[in-house]
Amino acid sequence: MSPHVNLSAPLAAARHIGTRGIPAGTRTVAHKFGGSSLADAGCYRGVAAILRDQAEDRQIAVVSAMQGVTDALIALAQDAASGTGDWRAAAGSLRERHLAVAGDLLGGQAGPTQAWLDASHAGLADLLQALAVLGFPAREALERIQGLGEVWSARLLSALLVAQGAECAMLDAREVLTVRHGELGVAVDWDDSARRLADWRDGHPQARVIATGFVARDADGRPTVLGRNGSDYSGAIFAALFGACELNIWTDVDGVLSADPRLVPEAVPLAAMSYEEACELAYFGAKVIHPQTMLPAMALGLPIRIRNTFRPNHPGTCIGAAETPPMPVKGLSLADNLALVNVEGAGMIGVPGTAERVFAALRSAGVSVVMISQGSSEHSICCVVRAGDVERARSGLAAAFAAELADGQIQDIAVTAGISVLAAVGDGMAGMPGVAARLFASLGRARVNVRAIAQGASERNISVALAGADAARALRAAHAGFWLSPQALSVGLIGPGNVGRALIEQIREAAPRLQRDTRLDLRVRAIAGSRQLWTDERGELPADWQRRVAAGGEAADLDRFAAHVHAPHLPHAVIVDCSASAAVAARYPDWLAAGIHVVTPNKQAGAGPLALYRAIRAAAEAGGARWRYEATVGAGLPVIQTLRDLLDTGDELVAVEGILSGTLAWLFNRYDGSQPFSALVAEAHALGYTEPDPRDDLSGLDVARKLVILAREAGQALELADVAVESLVPAAVRDLPREAVPAALAAIDEDIARRHARARAAGKVLRYVARLDRSGARVGLVEVAGDQAFAHLRLTDNIVQYTTRRYASNPLIVQGPGAGPDVTAAGVFADLLRLGAALGARL
């Protein structure tokens, strides 16, 4: 039944009683300050300043104990009752802490307050001594002790305000607030509380009242407490009783956040939310407000504003009945330390009352159920319970279904420990298709397995049970998936050479724009060279990153590198391999199988042994990670993507032909016979167009690898050895040390000059061309007619010509710059952005 039905009538009557004698139009505002807002004397001064600065006719402020005091009081009672620990010394420290704060706050006027505190602490010592004699924690004594921190705190704050010249009264809630404890928690006797408050107000007419939170009285007048988080509940109760028009709950954050900031640093404060949204988030772990706090507010339509004590000018989050902005998911929360209990058996199918027996057994065992899930097959019912309750749940269910377990009608009562529940909450989810799809797609991309699912008919909450080890990653993935924060991508780069260096600079330049406009957060968290490894937890590259990487912190270790990149708290990880290492490429299957995406211009994987290529493909398909390698063939040109588009749309490849080396393109575009070919090679090397060893370009193997990659993309099981390769490296030069190569390359000049002269006599030009067709694969130096596209390239241009069933008479051509670190890095970057789009960024 709705709280509006249960509470609105008695609350309205109570407000009428509690506010008697207050002129119409009087604006009363309630405030509640938590323990973090009252940690020390400086915090008390800040709270007093906040209260004095509010423009209110009447003011009620409910305060918690000083930070940590309630826990200390509970520990004192337990130690005294059990006879363990030095409770006298701990009690003395607590007394000194409060006396010191009083002295700091009140200075020369502290005497009466310190005397009162001394007497109260002496009474505490007597209670503790009594518990020590009893040897067990009597409930009445324990509840009296637990509430003392609030009483001390209220006394300190009210004394400070009076010392500052403000009219102020202190209200001990145990004098007026009457409650009773039941199975559903604490229930307020509104009529009795309102009458007691009205009588109290007759003797305390001050416009400002400081009240104790957490404490109350039972029907017999004995002190009791409202339970943990009871101070928030007290704030809502007194807001109702005093006829407040608003309740401000002051804490240490800027309002309700879209997620736990300890797990999602990008969590954002929410400007507004409904009572129902706040209840859902609060139940599943959002610590800002307790669900019970909202009951009186919901019944009266009383707005609750969550505000930051340390940033009082921040508007905070307004929780109310009014419609909030139309966001499908307002926030996400996480409950951990849970376990999954599954009752499973074919004998349950179609049998009425099975669910009733499950829940009755759990109730008898005193187990609260966090989440319930049952498939339409009725073959199993699973419940999520708190980890501390799991053994009681298991034994209670085993007893309830003992006969069915013995007969085999129930196969098992299975328990899975280490479970967390992730809840996506928002009023805007109702009636909006695709919300669940986005949640599960986000979790799937982050490789998070869902164990159980629950969604209520209100469509305000989708809850999923998952392994606790995946909880942080799941929360961040879902948070980014609903565009509540940028999609974080942990990036590790191997090979900070020319291409790697250019790529990092491009990322650094583009990162702010990408985060702002596309919600993609690229974090370069590790860079591995051949000798050194640099890591950073946040992934914010400084301007002097090259110096820091060169300085290094540890020796290069690719296992350590991958483990750092694949951080459990980040939803997605990618390794960008800018090396040319076959050893690095051999690690791709393991990385992909672990869910780490790979982006690379390294041809050693796509053109390496066919077994490795197939292992990489299989790992990517099985693990769900992506392997992107567009830059392996045409640097920044869309060579592979164009081929894929042709094949995916049903076209058939007849032949592919191209100039696939920017270095060889530049050499033969420039060569006109006026200077030795070896001199041009030396010039290209000086310009950075060649590999460190120019034989790597002149051998034709680089071009052959690119042709193998295209062949495999087209579905052909081609090995590098299957390609007929014409090497331009003279036999006498192939085995020389690298430093001797430039001088020895003159041996190629005569042959190139002769072939160039023959081609020119025929009206043709020399080009180093790769070709794949039905007759096989080959790369080498060929004569090209002057009217062909291959004869009219600009410097380092690459060109690829696709002849297909559709593009038969007029082949499809892709042409553009195919060499240089900047364009290659741009091709790698484009692959990285395509990956980001696939992961949910707005690209």
Give me the active site residues, please.
Answer: 706
| Phi and psi, residue 273, nearest 5° | -160, 160
Nearest by Cα to 708 from 698, 720, 721 = 720
Are the CB atoms for 293 and 229 separated by under 8 Å?
Answer: yes
Q: Find out whether 700 and 667 touch, Cβ atoms under 8 Å.
A: no
Distance CA 55, CA 398 (A): 61
d(CA 712, CA 632): 13
Cβ(258)–Cβ(470) under 8 Å?
A: no
CA 267 to chain centre: 8
Amino acid letter, 290: H
List for the chain the helix, strand, coil content (%; round to 5): 45, 20, 30
CA atoms lying within 13 Å on the CB side of residue 375: 12
What is the C-alpha separation between 588 and 620, in angstroms, rounded?
Answer: 9
The token pair that represents 73 in the structure block: 């009081």
CA atoms of 130 and 767, how far apart (whole Å): 100
Contact 397, 361 (CB under 8 A): yes
Q: How far apart are CA 671 and CA 213, in angstroms?
A: 89
Burial status of residue 775 (CB atoms within 10 A of its CB: 0-12, 13-18, 19 or more)? exposed
840 contacts 481 by C-beta, under 8 angstroms = yes
Give dist(CA 582, CA 593) in Å, integer: 18
Dig out the tokens for 687 from the structure: 């310009």
Strand partners, 770: 658, 779
The Cα 272–Cα 319 span in angstroms is 6
Tokens (6 digits) for 565:
């990149």
- The type of residue at 515 is Q
Give the number of other Cβ atoms within 10 Å of residue 790's Cβ: 21
**Residue type at position 104:** D
Q: Measuring CA to CA, which residue among 71, 106, 65, 67 is closest to residue 90? A: 71
Helices (H), 552-654: 558-565, 582-585, 588-593, 603-606, 610-623, 631-634, 639-648
Classify residue 601 by its DSSP letter: -
Q: Distance between CA atoms of 308 and 45, rounded to whole angstroms?
A: 15
The string of DSSP codes covering 204-265 is ---SEEEEESSEEE-TTS-EEE--TTHHHHHHHHHHHHTT-SEEEEEESSSS-BSS-TTT-T
Please give the structure tokens belonging to residue 644: 């894929």
Rounded Cα distance between 284 and 370, Å, is 9
Q: Which residues contact 615 (CB under 8 A, 6 or more apart)?
A: 589
Q: Locate 681 and state its tokens.
A: 């090679």
First to last CA, the chain: 46
Classify 486 as helix, strand or coil. coil
Tokens encoding 72: 């200390």
Where are any strands of DSSP class E within 481-538?
487-494, 520-528, 532-535
Task: Say if strands 723-725 and 572-577 run parallel, antiparallel, or are unpaired.
Answer: unpaired
